[in-house]
Structure formats: structure tokens, C-alpha cells
Amino acid sequence: MIKIGIIGGAGYTAGELLRLMIHHPKIIIKSVVSKSNQEKFIHLIHQDLLGEIDNMKFTRSLKKELDVVFLCSGHGESRKELNNINILEKTKVIDLSQDFRIFHQSSFKKRNFIYGLPELQKKIIKKSNNIANPGCFATAILLAILPLAKNQLLKNNIHISAITGSTGSGRKNSDTNHFSWRNNNISVYKIFQHQHLQEIQQTIHQVQNNFCNKIYFVPYRGNFSRGIIITLYTHTIFSLEKNKEIYKEFYKNHPFVNISDVNIDLKQVINTNKCILYLIKENDQLIVISIIDNLIKGASGQAIQNMNIIFNLDETCGLKLKSIRF
């Protein structure tokens, strides 16, 4: 069994990790660290786990003999955590923050982090000990772009709009994620400046190094709790059918990405590790709609997918989840 530790155990991503892990056949959860909830029962914070792990409490520190540690402390905290805790060199680390995603920030002491997008770097991930889990917007957007980049077809500017649920802001209360503000409301933020643009641009250049055009990204705060839907368009020289062939060929060996022939909606992916893509062509523009659950494929599910790859398990182990439609 794979012995697991989690740091930052009280947040949304850690809660989803726990929910998925308790049914994973190859995992045993050894310790869940929360500085603000030490010695509290985990199900008092993650109340959906009542009846699942009733006897487990948050701890102050990790147990030493662990196979993998998941860092869920939030952006800017992972380096501090690695500096303050004693993790064995052989213990693998999967970080769910943005601290190690950019190449020039990807090393810490003796650890070198690999950008963990399985649909792009599965072979590299398989040999890695340290994974920087991609951001949620970045995951949805890159999965919509990569087949074009792989075929050197990104020759023009890319325009993206995307809307995310309130859980994308984390568990801490703010003016823009509590119910009375989000309900019956919508707003844009960080226009053309969202932090995930760095990892998106970095990854596109990794695949198509001659890409020199602009990416115009407008993110929206949605009035729902979870999920991301993005709409992306760029110039194409091919027919819709040819573009569909390119996408289906690229993802033929990737079990969590599906190409739909009919229009899609967000509920199709909620509570799953799937990304579903829908392609349209209008005049000379290829339009790609991409949907994911921001907490699963955009965070905790993808982290477990990476763990499965590292430990030579079936990629889908513990992640065969059905969407919640009603």
C-alpha cells in the first residue's frame, strides 16, 4: 500500500483528496496536517467524510515513513512547508500550489519539480519524484490547445474566456466568494493578467517553440460552487472534421479527455476527473469549449492521477467517477 501524508489538510483540495483517497484501493492515509485544526476530528471540518474516517484527527506533523506527501497549503506556502518539515529524500512530493510550476522556480534544495500535466508529460512524470500539479484554469485551457500546438498549428492570437466556481478561490472567506455576493452575480477579474497565463505560455512554448502570438484570457467568477467552462478561439486553416481528427488522435491514449460531437454542459464533468472538449468552426475560426471540475481534474484528481502514474498503477485507479447530473 502507498503511505500518504497531506499538509494543509483543512482546505478544499485536501478535502477532495481525502474523499477520493478513502476509496482508492492502493492507498493508506497515514497523517493529515492542519496547523489551525490540530487534534480535531477530520470529519468536523470535512463534514462529507462523516461515517468515512470518523476516528482520524488532524495532526501537527507528518509521520516520517511516507511514500508520497501532498502539499495543499496554498500558493506561496509550499516552499515554507518544505523548509520547515523533515521529509525523507526518497519520499515523493506532489504540490498543488503554483510555487514550482514555472521552470525558473521549479527547484528547491535537492528537489526538482516536473510540471504534472499527464496528457503532455506522462513518460517524464513516471520517472519523477516531485510534481508541480497544474492550475485549474491552465488545465482546462491547455487541454483545449495542446493538439494544435503539437501539430505546430498555432499561428495567430488565442482568445479565451473562462468561468469558474467559487471553490476556485479556496476555503477562506473573501468579499467575492461568499454566497450573498456570488448568488445571482457574475464578474470578471485579472483580465489578461491571470497568474495561470505563465504556465500556459510556458507549456505552449515547450510544445510549439515558434509560437509568438498573444493569448488574451478573460476569467469570470461564476455563481456556482465548482467547475470550469472555457471558450477558446483561434484561426484555423483546416475543416472542422480535420481538426476533430487532430484532437482525437492526440488524446487517443489519454483516458480522461473526451471529444464530444454535440454541445456540452458543465454538469457532465462535475465530480469526475474528465475533461470534455467540443469543437466548432465559424468562418476561419476554430472554437474549442473545454469543461472540467476545478477541484478534481483541476486539482486533487489530477494529483492522484499523477501519483498513479509515478507508482505504475493504472492511470484511472481510484478515479473512475461518474458525473452528478441532477
Give the model confidence (pLDDT) of 27-47 as tens digits. Answer: 999 999 998 888 889 999 999
Helices (H), the chain: 12-21, 42-45, 78-84, 118-126, 136-150, 179-182, 196-207, 240-250, 301-310
Domain 2-134+297-310 top-level CATH class: alpha beta
Domain 136-294 top-level CATH class: alpha beta
Domain boundaries, the chain: 2-134+297-310, 136-294
Q: Are 6 and 62 in contact (CB under 8 A)?
A: no
Q: Compute the distance between CA of residue 265 and CA of residue 308 in angstroms, rounded to an integer.
A: 28
Q: Compute the distance between CA of residue 214 and CA of residue 159 in angstroms, rounded to an integer.
A: 8
Q: What is the pTM of this model?
A: 0.94
Encode pLDDT of 124-162 as tens digits. Answer: 999 999 999 999 999 999 999 999 999 999 999 999 999
Buried b (16+ CB within 10 A) or exposed e, 213-234: eebebbbbbbbebbbbbbbbbb
Instruction: Name the β-bridge partners of 92.
Output: 68
User: Which stretch of 85-89, 110-114, 227-231, 284-288 has the lowest confidence by average pLDDT?
Assistant: 85-89
pLDDT at residue 180 greater than cutoff 80: no
Catalytic residues: 136
Q: Compute the distance between CA of residue 80 and CA of residue 90 in angstroms, rounded to an integer.
A: 19
Record the cell numbers describing residue 218, joined without a space: 478573460
Q: CA separation (Å) from 99 to 9, 56, 102, 221?
A: 18, 29, 8, 23
User: Which stretch of 49-53, 132-136, 248-252, 300-304 has the lowest confidence by average pLDDT?
Assistant: 49-53
- State CA 111 to chain mean position distance: 21
Amino acid identity for residue 23 in this structure:
H
pLDDT at residue 176 greater than cutoff 70: no
